[in-house]
């Protein structure tokens, strides 16, 4: 039987890092309205349902314990997911069996949710490759841009001294505006700046963490030295004065 917590029976899902459902026997509050479908002695009130839980998946879950007659999902506020439900079984024995379980069956659809979550994580990481990858891409782009700019500069220099058939010299602007590059890289510059800020914050946190570790080590060393002096009867704390 699961552990009791504030009137609920706490039963885990299988797995090393399992989540829990909190369940108890439903107490009928009235005779009329929607309460009549929640049969006395056959209805469990279940709390802490997983985010992907639906009426169908909850029924499929508890059908593994015993035949389910009805599932009524709890009301949720706007923009949130219902995390509770009333589960009406076809027999009283199934409700009794449920409240004595040590572990719940596997939640239907949990593998699909894990696959979707893993895919979302991979996509997130791919879109944010990190500072080193971003720097390499930026360096490669700049090297290519500089090479193209140098080739164009040489071509313009050659045209500068070119004289056409009529004896006129070609007038060529040999300076290429860097503004073109800035227009080509707005997103890169913004993203690189964000990555650098995150990197500097990380360095600062690591520095503070190192300082705290050093202080703790010194404190432990001093404490050990005091203990040794106490054992050797060499430690004499100074007496305070009133």
Q: All domains of the chain, ordered by start, with CATH? A: 3-106 (3.30.70.330)
Q: Contact, 88 vs 37, CB < 8 A?
A: yes
Burial zone of 98 (CB within 10 Å; 0-12 exposed, 13-18 middle, 19+ buried): buried
Residue 188 has pLDDT above 70, yes or no: no
Average pLDDT over residues 47-54: 84
pLDDT of residue 85: 93
Residue 217 has pLDDT above 60, yes or no: yes
Residue 72 has pLDDT above 80, yes or no: yes
pLDDT in tens, 113-129: 555 566 666 766 777 76
pLDDT in tens, 10-38: 999 887 566 899 999 998 765 554 556 78
pLDDT of residue 108: 77
Average pLDDT over residues 38-52: 88
Residue 49 has pLDDT above 50, yes or no: yes
pLDDT of residue 240: 46
Distance in angstroms (rounded) separating the CA atoms of residues 120 and 127: 11
Give Cα 62 distance to the centre of its chain: 29
pLDDT of residue 235: 47
Name the average pLDDT for the chain: 75
pLDDT of residue 229: 72
Average pLDDT over residues 65-87: 83
């Amino acid at each position: 039987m699961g552990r009791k917590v504030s009137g609920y029976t706490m039963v885990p899902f299988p797995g090393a890092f399992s989540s829990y459902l909190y369940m108890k026997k439903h107490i009928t509050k009235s005779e009329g309205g929607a309460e009549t479908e929640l049969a006395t002695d056959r209805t469990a009130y279940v709390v802490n349902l997983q985010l992907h839980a639906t009426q169908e998946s909850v029924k499929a879950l508890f059908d593994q314990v015993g035949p389910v007659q009805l599932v009524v999902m709890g009301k949720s506020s706007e923009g949130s997911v219902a995390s509770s439900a009333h589960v009406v079984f076809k027999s009283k024995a199934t409700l009794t069996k449920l409240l004595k379980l040590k572990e719940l069956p596997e939640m239907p659809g949990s593998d699909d949710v894990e696959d979707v979550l893993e895919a979302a994580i991979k996509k997130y990481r791919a879109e944010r490759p990190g500072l080193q990858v971003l720097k390499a891409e930026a360096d490669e782009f700049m090297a290519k841009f500089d090479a193209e700019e140098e080739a164009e500069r040489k071509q313009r220099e050659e045209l500068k001294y070119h004289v056409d058939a009529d004896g006129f010299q070609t007038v060529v602007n040999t300076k290429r505006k860097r503004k073109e590059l800035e227009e080509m890289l707005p997103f890169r510059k913004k993203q690189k700046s964000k990555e650098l800020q995150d990197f500097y914050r990380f360095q600062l946190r690591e520095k503070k963490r190192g300082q705290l570790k050093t202080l703790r080590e010194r404190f432990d060393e001093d404490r050990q030295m005091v203990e040794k002096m106490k054992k050797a009867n060499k430690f004499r704390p100074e007496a305070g004065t009133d």
